[in-house]
Amino acid sequence: MTVFDSVTHPRTNVRLRNRYTIALSALLCYYSITVFRKPNPSSGIPIYVQLKEQIRHVIETGALSPGDQLPGIRSLAEALVINPNTVIKVYRELENEGVLDIRHGLGAFVTTRPRSLSGAEGMRDAQQLVRDFIDTLKKQGLNEGEIRRLFEAEFAEELQGR
């Protein structure tokens, strides 16, 4: 018997999982919830947009792989202290965009449709460029707040220029 085996109770015929499997399930559930940060209601960006971008980021960076299950609606809403309807809205929009598969009664899963490999690699390359750039700015004596304001100002200017 391995740590992942389940056992059938002899009298009730109910399937029981051993304590290691239960502990592993609880740990995975906790990890998937802690991947997401609480949205900032005073940022001026709608909460559902913040959550949607977080989920996209987690998928694009590989923290969640195709086929992985996202946290349940209630558990995620409670962990982030947001309305469950907000989570439902985000999950539905991401399903419409082809990012998630919602299986009623089972939950939301990252789509198993293969994303273009160049897109995932491009995201990782861009992430490394940003890390390198932040390290360069820190070496020049800028603190985190100054770096964040610079990025936000440049990004806002770029969006207005379109």
pLDDT tens, residue by residue, 6-50 = 545 455 454 555 555 555 455 445 444 557 889 989 888 999 999
Q: What is the pLDDT of residue 69?
A: 92
Q: 107 — alpha (psi -120 to 50), left (phi > 0) or beta?
A: left
Span of 20-24, 57-61, 99-103 with lowest mean pLDDT: 20-24
Q: Cβ(120)–Cβ(62) under 8 Å?
A: yes
Q: What is the pLDDT of residue 154?
A: 83
- What is the DSSP code (8-state) at residue 72? P
| Mean pLDDT calculated for residue range 40-62 | 90
| Mean pLDDT calculated for residue range 109-135 | 76
Query: Max Cα separation, the chain?
Result: 71
In the Cβ-directed half-sphere of 18, how many Cα atoms lie within 13 Å? Answer: 8
Each residue's pLDDT tens digit, 64-87: 889 999 999 999 999 999 999 999
Dist. CA 156–CA 75, nearest whole Å: 34
Entry pTM:
0.55
Q: Facing residues of 110 across strands? A: 100
**3-state DSSP assignment of residue 68:** coil
Q: What is the pLDDT of residue 161?
A: 66
Q: What is the pLDDT of residue 5?
A: 47
Each residue's pLDDT tens digit, 126-151: 888 888 888 999 999 999 889 888 88
Q: Facing residues of 15 across strands? A: 8
Q: What is the pLDDT of residue 20?
A: 56
